[in-house]
């Protein structure tokens, strides 16, 4: 296992990277504590700079403890040192994150104003800058703020979209600080993305389908959707235009990915078919129910009505097979969950479904299969070659799959 793989397994994805986090005076400043903590846990060397206003909302001691370094606030606190300090952090940074970014710091950065430690250091850095706005909706939508955000993007800064939802001012709307994982994904993309899939359209199915029996019951399976979501995240990191056709609503939507939610196999087929002609890569990671109920009861089936219950099932379409039949140059990837003779069954499925790649795993093995964080996979290719991989996280396998696809496009 190489060092990158080992780091991913331990989620130490930021190992060896210096990240400077600038915290400004938005109420979401306390959420930056979790960001700093996660960055450090994932191996980054983190330095924090706070504005004066931020220190009124959360203590620099918190960020000092979480980062393991003194927090810089005042440019003139140590006058013999100040110029060295801001230039040193600006130079040290592999990535500069401003989170939360208030309308004020966005305005200052966009206009070239450097009047405190944070605005001075961010102006002096040559590192990529990730800006995470968080503020009241009206402020966020204000034309001046939007113009300033456009200016930052024009000079190459990455400005994240805030989330919609409850805001500290007791209103609801766009302006919430994104979830830590979403910010970390954006940071990973900036630091590690190699643009392997730039300009490529990818559709990915994920999760387990549900076939209704009646309004309260369904036939389902144990798929969590984590594998499909991990592939979507990895593809987005490589600049692909990604659409997830998702049978689950339980997982957070990866940054930069479009999601279309579906429930049953026929809906999934319709949505995959609708996007297939126009895509470069299609990946069927969903666990599709092979059967559905022949008739769906319109009202809840009552147990008093009968001593035993027989539900008649009929075959669902094999979506992947259908895509294989109509493909015209698309790179088609399937999965095979097996409990025995994994490679033999995999080879047969690859051929029968006319695939370019098949990810096979033995779900009877510990650490593989449904609802666990890891997987043990073999990848089989159309040219009859194959590769076997050790146990790794689904996140790691997502990156491996995307890299292997990119090599073969
Ligand atoms: N699949 C599909 N439509 C189905 C069933 C499966 O598109 N109705 C896709 C899955 O998304 C996966 C692949 O086919 O990519 C393999 O699924 P799997 O259940 O392992 O194999 P099956 O083809 O259903 O064969 P069997 O159940 O006989 O092993």
DSSP string, 256-310: TEEEEE--SHHHHHHHHHHHHTT-SEEEE-SB--SEEESS--SSPPPGGG-SS--
- Ligand 1 centroid from CA 338, angstroms: 10
Q: What is the mean pLDDT of residues 189-205?
A: 95
Per-residue pLDDT for 104 more than 60?
A: yes
48 in catalytic set: no
Per-residue pLDDT for 8 more than 70?
A: no
For residue 375, name the pLDDT band (cuts at 50, 70, 90): confident
- Ligand 1 centroid from CA 361, angstroms: 13
Q: Is the CB of 284 under 6 A from ligand 1?
A: yes
The H or E element that residue 236 is part of is: helix 226-237
- In degrees and rounded to multiples of 5, residue 121 shows phi and psi of -70, -40
Could you identify the atom of ligand 1 that is nearest to the CA of residue 321? 7
Could you identify the atom of ligand 1 that is nearest to the CA of residue 323? 7
- Cβ contacts of 381 within 8 Å, gap of 6 or more: 356, 357, 408
- The rounded distance, in Å, linking the Cα atoms of 244 and 240 is 12
- Ligand 1 centroid from CA 365, angstroms: 19
Per-residue confidence (pLDDT) for residue 255, from 0 to 100: 84
For residue 305, name the pLDDT band (cuts at 50, 70, 90): low
- Ligand 1 centroid from CA 349, angstroms: 9
Mean pLDDT (the chain) is 92
Q: Is the CB of 316 under 6 A from ligand 1?
A: yes
The full set of domains in the chain, from first to last, is 14-192 (3.40.50.1950), 201-291+314-408 (3.40.50.10300)
Query: Hey, which residues does 283 pair with through a beta bridge?
Result: 204, 333
**Among protein residues, the one whose CA lies closest to atom 27 of ligand 1:** 290
Angle at which helix 29-41 crosses helix 180-192, to 10 degrees, equals 50
Q: What is the mean pLDDT of residues 165-184?
A: 87
For residue 2, name the pLDDT band (cuts at 50, 70, 90): low
Per-residue confidence (pLDDT) for residue 6, from 0 to 100: 56
Per-residue pLDDT for 78 more than 70?
A: no
Q: What global pTM score does this model have? A: 0.83
Catalytic residue among 48, 111, 169, 260: 169
Q: What is the mean pLDDT of residues 152-158?
A: 96
What DSSP designation does 13 have? T
- Cβ contacts of 236 within 8 Å, gap of 6 or more: 185, 189, 242, 254, 255, 256, 257
**Among protein residues, the one whose CA lies closest to atom 21 of ligand 1:** 336
Q: Is the CB of 288 under 6 A from ligand 1?
A: yes
**Among protein residues, the one whose CA lies closest to atom 14 of ligand 1:** 320
């Amino acid at each position: 296992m190489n060092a990158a793989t080992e780091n991913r397994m331990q989620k130490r994805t930021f190992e060896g990277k210096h990240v400077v986090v600038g915290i400004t005076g938005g109420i979401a400043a306390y959420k930056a504590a979790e960001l700093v903590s996660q960055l450090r846990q994932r191996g980054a060397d983190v330095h924090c700079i706070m504005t004066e206003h931020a220190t009124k909302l959360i203590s620099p001691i918190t960020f000092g403890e979480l980062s393991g370094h003194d927090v810089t606030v005042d440019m003139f606190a140590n006058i013999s040192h100040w110029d060295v300090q801001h230039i040193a952090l600006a130079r040290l940074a592999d990535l500069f994150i401003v989170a939360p970014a208030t309308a004020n710091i966005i305005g200052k950065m966009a206009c070239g104003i450097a009047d405190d430690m944070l605005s001075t250091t961010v102006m002096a850095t040559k590192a990529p800058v990730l800006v995470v706005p968080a503020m009241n909706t009206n402020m966020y939508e204000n034309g001046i703020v939007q113009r300033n955000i456009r200016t930052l993007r024009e000079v190459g800064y990455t400005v994240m979209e805030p989330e919609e939802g409850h805001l500290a001012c007791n209103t609801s709307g766009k302006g919430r600080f994104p979830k830590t994982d979403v910010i970390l994904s954006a940071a990973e993309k900036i630091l590690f993305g190699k643009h392997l899939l730039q300009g490529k359209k990818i559709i990915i199915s994920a999760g387990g389908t549900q076939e209704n029996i009646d309004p309260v019951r369904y036939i389902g399976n144990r798929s969590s959707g984590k594998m499909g979501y991990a592939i979507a995240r990895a593809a987005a990191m490589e600049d692909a235009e990604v659409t997830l056709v998702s049978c689950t609503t339980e997982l957070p939507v990866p940054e930069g990915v479009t999601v279309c939610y579906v429930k049953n196999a026929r809906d999934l087929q319709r949505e995959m078919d609708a996007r297939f002609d126009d895509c470069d890569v299609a990946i069927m990671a969903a666990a599709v129910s092979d059967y559905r109920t022949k008739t769906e009861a319109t009202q809840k089936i009552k147990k008093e009505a009968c001593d035993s219950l027989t539900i008649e099932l009929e075959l669902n379409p094999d979506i992947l097979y259908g895509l294989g039949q109509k493909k015209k140059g698309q790179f088609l990837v399937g999965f095979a969950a097996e409990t025995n003779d994994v490679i033999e069954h995999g080879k047969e499925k690859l051929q029968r479904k006319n695939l370019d790649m098949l990810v096979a795993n033995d779900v009877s093995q510990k650490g593989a299969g449904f609802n666990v964080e890891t997987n043990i996979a073999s990848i089989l290719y159309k040219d009859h070659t194959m590769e076997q991989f050790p146990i790794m996280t689904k996140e790691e396998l997502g990156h491996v799959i995307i890299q292997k696809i990119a090599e073969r496009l």
